[in-house]
Amino acid sequence: MPPPINYTEDNKSAQWKNLVTAKVVTKAEAQLTSANMNGGSGPSSSINPPGWWGGTCPAHHQRGHLIGNKLGGPGNEAKNLVTLTAGTNHPFMYEFEDAVYCCVLANKGQTFTYIVECDYTPTSYTTVSGFAINGAGGNPFCLFPAPAFLRLSLHVSGKPVTLGDMVKYLPKPPDDLGKAAAYTNLIIANGGYKLYTGATHVANSCWAVESSFAKVQSEAESYAKSLGHLT
C-alpha cells in the first residue's frame, strides 16, 4: 500500500497587470514507513499543473511531484503535481527525496511525517531587467500559480529530523554540510535551470542562454497572457 497523503488547498492571488486567483495546493503531508514507500508513479502527461507552459525551450517546465515517486507519491493525482523548472525538480527535489527515502528505510518500525509546503507569496515573485513580468526566481517562464519556492521537512515522533541526521543514511553522505547540518528544513527556490547551453537551446532562443532577447521577451509575454497576467 502507498503512504497516506493529506493535501491542503487554498485560493491564492497575485497581481501585476491583472489579478490572477488560483486554487493551489499549499501543503502535502505523507506518513512514511519503511514498508509503504511504494505504489508511486511517474507524472501523467495528461495533467498540466497550475502555471504550466511546456517542457521544452524556453520554459523547461516539469511536472514535479510534491510527494516524490520514490516515496510512493502518485503521478496521476493532480493535487500531487506542481509546475517546477528543470533544475528545481532535479537535482534539488530529487536529492532531498533520496535522503528521505534512505532515512525512512533504515529506521524500520518508525513512522515519519514528510511535509512539502508551497509558497505563493506575491512578493516572492520578482522581475529581472528587461521583463515586466514577475516570475519565481526572477524567471519570466515560472509565473504564479507555479509556486515561488518549496519548504521540505521530515519529522519523527513529533520532532524534526535535521539535514545532518537525514543524509548520513545516503550511500555517499555529503561532507560539506557544515552549519547547514543542523537545519530542520530545506527551502528550494523554483525557477532554476540546469545548464542549457547547447546549440539547440541557442537556436530556440532558450531563456537559459538568452540568444535572442526580443524573441524570448515575446515568448514570455505570450506565456503571461496564457495565465491571465497580461492582456
**Which of these CATH numbers, 3.40.570, 2.60.120, 2.40.50, 3.30.1360, describes 5-195?**
3.40.570
- Given the C-alpha cell 510527494, which residue does it identify? 67
For residue 202 the three cell numbers come to 541557442
Q: Please report the pLDDT score of residue 140 as a whole number.
A: 95
Closest to 178 in 3D by CA, of 188, 166, 163: 163
At residue 132 the predicted structure's pLDDT band, cuts being 50, 70 and 90, is: confident
Calpha distance 102→112 (Å, rounded): 12
At residue 196 the predicted structure's pLDDT band, cuts being 50, 70 and 90, is: confident
Q: Please report the pLDDT score of residue 130 as a whole number.
A: 87
pLDDT digits (tens, 9 = 90+) for 5-49: 999 999 999 999 999 999 999 999 999 999 999 999 999 999 999
Mean pLDDT of the chain: 95
Closest to 211 in 3D by CA, of 221, 199, 226, 229: 199
Q: Which of the two residues, 12 and 200, has the higher pLDDT score?
A: 12
Does the pLDDT of residue 96 top 90, yes or no? Answer: yes
Q: Please report the pLDDT score of residue 23 as a whole number.
A: 98
> pTM (2 decimals)?
0.96
Closest to 67 in 3D by CA, of 84, 48, 81: 81
Tell me the mean pLDDT in the region 69-94: 96
- What are the domain boundaries of the chain? 5-195
**Distances from the Cα of 173 to the Cαs of 63, 101, 102, 158, 217, in angstroms?**
28, 14, 11, 25, 42
Contact between 135 and 42 (Cβ < 8 Å): no
Does the pLDDT of residue 81 top 90, yes or no? Answer: yes
Q: Please report the pLDDT score of residue 210 as a whole number.
A: 86
Tell me the mean pLDDT in the region 194-220: 90
